[in-house]
Amino acid sequence: MKRLFILLGVGGIAFGLYSYYIKQLEILTKLTYKLRGVSLENANLDSVSISLKLEVKNNSDISITIANYYFDVFLNDIFVGVIQNAKVNQNLKGLGGLSMFNPKLRIKNRALFGSGLISGLTSNFKNSTLTLKGIYGLKKGLIKIKDLPIDETFKMKDFM
Comparing 7-11, 60-64, 89-93, 111-115, the range with the smallest average pLDDT is 111-115
Q: Is the pTM here over 0.75, yes or no?
A: no
Residue 120, Cβ density class (10 Å: 0-12 exposed, 13-18 middle, ≥19 buried): middle
Tell me the longest C-alpha to C-alpha distance in the chain: 80
Stretch 31-53: mean pLDDT: 80
Q: Is the pLDDT of residue 143 over 70?
A: yes
Rounded to 10 degrees, the C-alpha dihedral 103/107/111/113 comes to 130
Note the pLDDT of residue 112.
67
Quote the CA–CA distance of 41 and 109 in Å, as a whole number.
14
Q: What is the share, in percent, of the chain residues with pLDDT greater than 90? A: 1
The predicted-structure confidence for 50-94, as pLDDT tens digits, reads as follows: 888 888 888 887 788 888 888 888 888 888 888 877 677 777 787
For 2-159, CATH number? 2.60.40.10
Note the pLDDT of residue 159.
60
Question: Taking the domains of the chain in order of start, what are their residue ranges?
Answer: 2-159
